[in-house]
Structure 1
């Protein structure tokens, strides 16, 4: 029974969201993304971009094929010239998958050279692969040999350099392009958020003492797949004492009445857009403890205070410096980031806590209209019993911030000041 038809569940209509928002215009979305990439390439005077990461291939071409498998098997790649036709190289038997995709001018069989596929022939295959890429660069680059590359093993890097290719950072190009969303991307993201929130509503409805963390987590997956979603990037759900410190993934532990259940969706939904929302539930028909309410109230306070700071033109360093200060007893267990970008996955920017910046926890930059941002909170005392995880997904507009996530907070856990 779905949450919407279950009289004991909070329906999606009551919660204020729908799983069926308008579908975005895929042709306009693909054109926008390709133009964004090419603008970044022109700004750096690069002749083109070679992408192997499935996330970046999808952004550049609008195509996908066995996304999770291709994350660790480099069986697909695409050559995106700054000026000229895009060539997609696809896995064996998959050349037909891009039929009708207007951003792809040509599809060729991929020449895979990683060890699983090539074995001892990897060096020879890498040389052939590099020669084909270099030929495309010569044909479209007008003498410019600078090629942005997102991910490539050392064997491929060496082979490209032997062909005279000047390798530049392609991940920077892709992350900066992906940072600003088009209206069509926002529509697609709303759809993923709605799917995630439907799954969260089902989790809330079925949560009963005695079920395991894995059983509860499975309901989010089921709704995502049934609604056309793709995968979930982590297994971040923990109950009771396993919720502090954070980052323990779900297990076969039974959830007891009165325990907090904290989770992070990390959901890749329809059209490949990420819905990254966190909540904490209370298991069973019980009264929350004073301590549970205190932790929940602190997490809510952190989320709301930091969202109030967010606006176009705000610098990442300003957010870090002005952000809500964690209680001393919660700082050792602080989350890894205050806020981060979200799109096809977690992406640029990454805004860390001030105390982590010297260790690579953050960097400076500017929040801009069109960015979609997740604001994070984890509140758990050092040595404490439980922890609360909250996270909201937001769109920065020309005038401020719009909340894309709208899943209700847990009233039984909120202190009176939030009711």
Structure 2
């Protein structure tokens, strides 16, 4: 019996079976991944006595169920689809005409059509639509977990939340339980992360091979995006590719700027790759044809020093405050243009926790503990105040029971070291 027939015998939708058969899914038990994640959300809900959550962020819906549908569209048009989750019931409200997409998922008990309570959909009748939505979903929640239950919400428009509270429920923020659930990965999840990284690294290799003076930043970035999609990735979340004088300060998106000779080219992948897992590493390249200058190599080696120092201090049991105190001290000339974080969590997107530089901890930082199962990205941006160019480097790693494991394996540039 083929794997596809095996799924069909058990009622799994053929499209889901095909996803499980994709090359990047070899040796990964995706059903176990989905059930683990669903269990994580329910466990965090239980810790906070939350009877039900309504998830509308498509990333969180995918985390809890494995289902995906027009993710970028759904982010912009929330709530186009949403998930009602209790301790023993998972009901997905799917976009019009799309109910069949969730067939066969062991994480979804029932699929119903969504009712879009948005101004675009309802116009001047928006308030009435929101109240009708709240009454319908409120009756369902009451039947499942009781009237007056504590209900977690995220990314609903304000009128819908107000209307649901008027139905007699205690409304709380669902961000904390979901973020805490997502922060600890299972062994099977890590296989998904690695599959996404290997595909993205192949795409970055394609992009690197296309570098030449005279190509525009947009043309170069499009090579990465095309290659990511060809390998069954979802999308690039940002357009963080810039070159030469546009590389300092950081956060300038790719443009029609023509890449010149002998300049630095900075990339932050920010790829939502296969299985929906984030491939987040940064590299800096040199356009040639000559060798990098001493100034360019100094920037690069300084960024590597910051990166390796901060990777080396990470370990399970380290508090966020301790990390901040031990983190690399940024030289004064580079400090004003520093990256806004020292490190951050990484799963299906950037996530909890954020680890801040020492100088920023008092204003922005919060404490917590680095735990096994977290995947973290360590960041470095080095660009002098008023300098012509900068360097961006970043590595993605796993916190293990005894230390760390490097997950992102794309090489650094020997000519710049």
Could you tell me how far apart the structure 2 residues matched to 1:183 and 1:393 are? 16
Query: What does 1:4-153 correspond to in 2, within 5 Å?
Result: 22-74=26-78, 75-81=80-86, 83-142=87-146, 145-153=149-157
Q: Does 1:267 align with 2:271?
A: yes
Equivalenced residues, count: 394
Could you tell me how far apart the structure 1 residues matched to 2:37 and 2:72 are? 21
Could you tell me how far apart the structure 1 residues matched to 2:137 and 2:72 are? 24
Q: Structure 2, unaligned stretches of length 5 or more?
A: 1-22
Residue matched to 2:366: 363
The TM-score, its normalising length taken from structure 1, stands at 0.92
Residue matched to 1:319: 323
Residue matched to 1:223: 227
- The C-alpha deviation readout for 1:219-258, integer Å capped at 9, x for no partner, is 1101110010111111001101110010001111111111
Out of 134, 158, 177, the position equivalent to 2:181 is 177
Kept in 1, the 8 Å contact 2:185–2:374? The answer is yes
SS of corresponding position for 1:199: helix
Residue matched to 1:376: 379
Residue matched to 1:292: 296
1:177 Cα deviation (Å)? 0.4
SS of corresponding position for 1:347: strand
Query: What does 1:154-233 correspond to in 2, within 5 Å?
Result: 154-233=158-237
Structure 1 runs of 4+ off > 3 angstroms? 19-23
SS of corresponding position for 1:328: coil
Kept in 2, the 8 Å contact 1:379–1:389? The answer is yes
1:21 Cα deviation (Å)? 7.4
Kept in 2, the 8 Å contact 1:151–1:171? The answer is no
- The C-alpha deviation readout for 1:191-210, integer Å capped at 9, x for no partner, is 11111111111111110110
Q: Structure 1, unaligned stretches of length 5 or more?
A: 1-18, 415-419
1:20 Cα deviation (Å)? 5.1
SS of corresponding position for 1:329: coil
Kept in 2, the 8 Å contact 1:237–1:264? The answer is yes
Kept in 2, the 8 Å contact 1:379–1:387? The answer is yes
1:136 Cα deviation (Å)? 2.1
Residue matched to 1:12: none
- The C-alpha deviation readout for 1:81-119, integer Å capped at 9, x for no partner, is 1x2221110000011100101111111110101111111
Aligned-residue Cα RMSD (Å) equals 1.2
Deviates more, 1:44-53 or 1:130-139: 130-139
CA pair 23-242 structure 1, distance change in 2 beyond 3 A: farther
Could you tell me how far apart the structure 2 residues matched to 1:135 and 1:107 are? 17
Could you tell me how far apart the structure 2 residues matched to 1:269 and 1:398 are? 26
Out of 378, 388, 391, the position equivalent to 1:385 is 388
